[in-house]
Structure 1
Amino acid sequence: MWHPLSSQHSRGAVTRYRIEYSTLDQLDTVFSVEVGGNETQFTLRELQPNQAYRLRIAAGTGIGFGVPSEWAQHQTLADYNHSDQTMVIFAPTELKVRAKVSTLNVTWHPSPNHTLVSGYKLSCREVEADESANGERTMQTHTIRLRKKARYHLLTGLVPDRQYEVKIWAFTKQIDGAAAVWKGRTEKAHDRTSWPPMRPPPLPPTSIQATANSSTSIWLRWEKPRFSNVRIINYTVRCSPAGTTNASLVSYHTSSSQEILLGELKPFTRYELAVQSNGVDVVGPFSGTVEEATLSDRPFTPPEELQLSALDSSSVLVSWRPPLEPNGIIISYKILYSSNISQPDHLWNNLSQDGSITSVEVQGLSSGTHYFFKLGASTEVGSGPYSLVKDNYFTAVIHMCNGIIIKVSK
């Protein structure tokens, strides 16, 4: 991965990058690969496991390549062929659980490589001793998903004097990390004759209002319940994509004030939100849900499955599918095509199409010419990345007896 050059250092529009790499024990054998000028990352594949490499990158304009970067070194993993071992996420540290009669207050410190993670998952299960089976019988496991900044969570509604197992682990978009584990018992229930009068749970907050703040955040505000004989110490906010039935997509957030900015959300996505009042060792029910959608953003990904089909000696049909992550309503597509791949984008021929269109016929091309095509999509916010360049080469061949036959080679 790399950052593009600033305009004052690029000396023109960057149209391509050249990546050079070699093993440290064979410095004379240098491999190279070129990628488009709109790319900022590339995956080098089919490398040797447990091998030290050096690599560098140079930016190029239509005139040629500039001075390459300094050599950087990196060691591949020993078991590179196993995708689940390409990244190791360590377990959270200092896991502590404070057990009460019906609650477990779970706290932890982040994983050592915390910057790599997307969030945390917390599971809780009841474990009962089963003497007849001479072992343990595992009850149903409940798993919840927490945001990256979470450091504690209150598990409620548990059974007194029961053994529970709590696990907490970090996760990325690809893998789950190692788990920190706690086992222990909830407190025994006191003799009811000596119990103090039962305190009713606090009522849920009122006047809950959600307002989209950006493409990845929503402001949520509420008011204290009007009547409550329990001192409220904080609030728990439940957040999930509207209509989801996947428990792993539900996240919980704690706020000591009557508002919270929910971040790290997906653009142009409707969310369901609810708030719960928390007292000392007593929690109330969640409020009714409110819904709000995050704002649109530029497409995160280019249009998919760009296909070229020659129609005759001077026209080609370009077809595609919408981006996988449009982040809004696609209002237009831009097709760029040129016979010179080294030209900057503004010199390519361009053709704009309405966002509801997924194919277009490009006419007026020159027979016997090698053309290059790429495609981008736009929302009301702006343009997303272009697709990888695709080329189509076609010529017209005169057939003496049967007029013109179009010969297509791709």
Structure 2
Amino acid sequence: KRYGGTWQRCLFTLGLSWLVSSFPLVVPSAPPQLSVASTSPTDIRLVWQPLTSQHSRGAVTRYRVDYSALDQKDTVFSVELRGNETQFTLRELRPNQVYRLRIAAGTAVGFGVPSEWVQQQTVVLIFAPSELKVRTRVTTLNVTWQPSPNHTLVSGYKLSYREAETDRFTTRDRTPHTHTIRLRKKARHHLLTGLVPDRQYEVRVWAFDKQKDGAAAVWKGRTDKIHGRPSGPSSSPPLPPSSVQATANSSTSVWLRWEKPRFINVRIINYTVRCSPAGTTNASLVSYYTSSSLEILLRGLRPFTHYELAVRSNGVNIAGPFSGTVVEATLPDRPSTPPEELQLRALNSSSVLVSWRPPLEPNGIIVSYRILYTVNLSKPEDEWRNLSEDGGIFSVEVRGLSGGTRYFFKVGASTKVGSGPFSPVVDVQTPLPTYELDIHAVTGIIVGVCLGLICILLCMCFSFRNSKPRSVFTLYACFLF
């Protein structure tokens, strides 16, 4: 009774030690690789890859996502997810706010080390343009507006219009078509022409940036009725400009110049420039610009892209036809997107096959690809091993690697202007080396042994054929030979 409690504690300790040694309780040794992106003003989307068996050290049963606003680092929120999840969207966040996020994987025992903090800003909410006004005429609508409250964040404006007849008998057999026009950032007005008299229209104007469209300002109204047909020279539309010429200025801009019409039949107040990628049939890709002079610098274009350009003259409440189309290409630039679909395949313990696809936006002719690889992600980029391949090659075998080692790869593309961004890092595990016999060395050994045995047999045959008995010394010498 005196020592019973002590013995029980000892037995319990020994049993617990045996369980720990037989079934080690471990957590993952590395965090998942996390990618984040803002999909709306109040959402951030997280995507990660499952851990390999080497790093999970057991079945991953859950993940934990930690996040906080950058200006409130002391307040950290956490969300736990199931182990079979590979993506998650944080909602109800604040627009135009920088957040920091990280992720950790966990087994039944607990969570492993979390990833490094990554920062992501939620998408900026773009407000609708203010003071939208439309001046109606018989066949035209003169649309004017004022900039959005956060105008400095926008890339331009879009204007759409369609017939909005409320008579259900009129629209029973047809669906109104919506026309969308892309306008530059400085635009404050646009003249819609070629409309139907005494018809109701719906006009929408909204701002946009590189990722999304903002809220739209809406106007509904009717064009004027025809009360009488005007006569005289002022009723005819102005003639189109002449000598339209385009010259590439940079990878994103083109100079367009023209001359006044050869014959002036109407007072011209300004000019409208139509710009669209060559061969496009999508009306949303057509942009219109207004100029009061005989030239304009078209900005915000895509690099290494052919554009179709035309100019028309505008009179008072009347617009003329467009001139003939001229085609000009913007200059090349460095790639704006990395190579796609980077894939790795270990061929053996010392080589890996690396393959990829060209960038989605090369912005020119790809002249070379650069392959970087390392065994340590924490090393700076200039310490990674690198290979260079011609721009027409999309796979390469990397040799001289170590067996049983995890390698990290990324690929970047270059034009004659410069290098673009690298692809996301992808890893591969080389197998352990397998030692194989050298077939040539083995063959040589076998041939040598066979020749030696044949010589021994010949010596024995010659010794027995001789009538005189040989001494033991002679037989031993023959055996040695």
**What is the deviation of 1:352?**
0.5
1:149 corresponds to which of 186, 195, 212: 186
Hey, what does 1:228 align to over in structure 2? 264
Aligned partner of 2:228 in structure 1 is 191
Q: 1:398 and 1:226 mapped to 2: Cα distance?
A: 84
Corresponding residue number in structure 2 for 1:205? 241
| Alignment CA distance shift 1:148-1:340 (3 Å) | same
1:216 Cα deviation after fit? 0.7
Whether the aligned pair in 2 keeps the contact of 1:126 and 1:138 (CA below 8 Å) is no
More strand by share: 1
Number of equivalences: 353
* Equivalent residue number for residue 271 of structure 1: 307
Q: Provide the rounded CA distance (Å) in 1 between the counterparts of 2:131 and 2:249.
A: 35
Return the alpha-carbon distance in structure 2 between the equivalents of residues 367 and 133 of structure 1.
76
CA distance in 2, matches of 1:155, 1:316: 60
Residue type at the aligned position of 2:141: L
Which position in structure 2 is the counterpart of 1:254? 290
Would the aligned equivalents of 2:100 and 2:120 in 1 still touch at CA under 8 Å?
A: no
Residue 362 of structure 1 corresponds to: 398
Which SS does the other structure have where 1:157 is aligned?
Answer: coil
Residue 15 of structure 1 is matched in structure 2 by: none
Amino acid in structure 1 at the alignment position of 2:227: H
Q: For the Cα contact (< 8 Å) 2:269–2:314, is it kept in 1?
A: yes
Residues 402 and 154 of structure 1: CA distance in aligned 2, closer, same or farther (over 3 Å): same
1:379-406: per-residue Cα shift (whole Å, max 9, x none)? Answer: 0000111112222221334479999xxx
**Alpha-carbon offset, residue 29 of structure 1:** 7.1
1:297 aligns with 2:339: no
Per the alignment, residue 150 of structure 2 pairs with: 113
Q: Which amino acid aligns with 2:293?
A: S
2:275 equivalent in structure 1: 239
Amino acid at match of 2:198: D
Match of 2:376 in 1: 340
- Structure 2 equivalent of residue 373 of structure 1: 409
In 2, the alpha carbon distance for the partners of 1:337 and 1:315 equals 12
User: Using a 3 Å threshold, how does the CA distance of structure 1 residues 322 and 157 change in structure 2: closer, same or farther?
Assistant: same
d(CA) in 1 for partners of 2:76, 2:129: 44
CA distance in 2, matches of 1:131, 1:301: 48
Unpaired stretches in structure 1, ≥5 consecutive residues: 2-18, 32-44, 58-67, 77-85, 404-410
Report the CA distance between 1:341 and its aligned residue. Answer: 2.4
Q: Trace 1:3-402 onto structure 2 (pairs within 5 A).
A: 21-22=67-68, 27=75, 46=88, 48-50=90-92, 88-128=125-165, 130=167, 139-192=176-229, 195-196=231-232, 198-398=234-434
Cα gap change, 1:55/1:187 in structure 2, threshold over 3 Å: closer, same or farther? closer
8 A contact 2:197–2:224 mirrored in 1: yes
One-letter identity of the residue aligned with 1:328: G
Give 2:432's aligned amino acid: A
Go from structure 1 to structure 2 and tell me whether the alpha carbon gap of 1:223 and 1:362 turns closer, same or farther (over 3 Å shift): same
Change (3 A) 1:198 1:221: closer
Contact 1:89–1:113 (Cα < 8 Å) also in 2: yes
Conserved 8 A contact 2:161-2:178 = yes
Shift of residue 20 of structure 1?
A: 8.2
Q: Provide the rounded CA distance (Å) in 2 between the counterparts of 1:371 and 1:283.
A: 64
Shift of 1:167: 1.9
Q: How far did residue 99 of structure 1 move?
A: 1.3
SS at match of 2:432: strand
Percentage of matched positions with identical amino acids:
68
Query: Distance between the aligned counterparts of 2:212 and 2:319, measured in 1?
Result: 33
Distance in 2 (alpha carbons) for counterparts of 1:239 and 1:28:
49
Bigger helix fraction = 2
Higher alpha-carbon Rg:
2
SS in 2 for 1:130: coil
Residue-by-residue CA offset, 1:316-338 (whole Å, 9 max, x unaligned):
11111111111111000111122
SS in 2 for 1:248: helix
Amino acid at match of 1:223: E
Secondary structure at 1:350 match in 2: strand
Alpha-carbon separation, structure 2, partners of 1:300 and 1:51:
29
CA distance in 2, matches of 1:162, 1:177: 28
User: Cα 1:99–1:370, aligned 2, differ >3 Å: closer, same or farther?
Assistant: same
Could you tell me whether the CA contact under 8 Å between 2:206 and 2:216 is conserved in 1?
A: yes
TM-score by length of 2: 0.65
Q: Is the 8 A contact 1:239 1:272 kept in 2?
A: yes
In the alignment, is the contact (CA less than 8 A) between 1:125 and 1:138 conserved in 2?
no
Aligned-pair CA distance for 1:197: 5.0
In structure 2, distance between residues paired with 1:261 and 1:241? 16
Q: Are the structure 2 counterparts of residues 296 and 51 from structure 1 closer, same or farther at C-alpha, using a change threshold of 3 Å?
A: closer
Alignment root-mean-square deviation, CA: 3.6
Distance 1:122 1:179 in 2: 9
Query: Residue 346 of structure 1: SS of its match in structure 2?
Result: helix
8 Å CA contact retained: 1:95, 1:182: yes
CA displacement, residues 1-28 of structure 1 (integer Å, 9 cap, x when unaligned): 9xxxxxxxxxxxxxxxxx9844769747
Q: Is the 8 A contact 1:128 1:138 kept in 2?
A: no
Question: Do the aligned partners of residues 130 and 316 (structure 1) sit closer, same or farther apart at CA in structure 2, a change above 3 Å counting?
Answer: closer
d(CA) in 1 for partners of 2:198, 2:187: 28
* Other structure's SS at 1:236 match: strand
Q: Cα distance, 1:365 vs. partner?
A: 1.2
Matches of 1:29 and 1:95 in 2, distance apart? 42
Query: Partners in 1 of 2:353 and 2:343 — Cα distance?
Result: 8
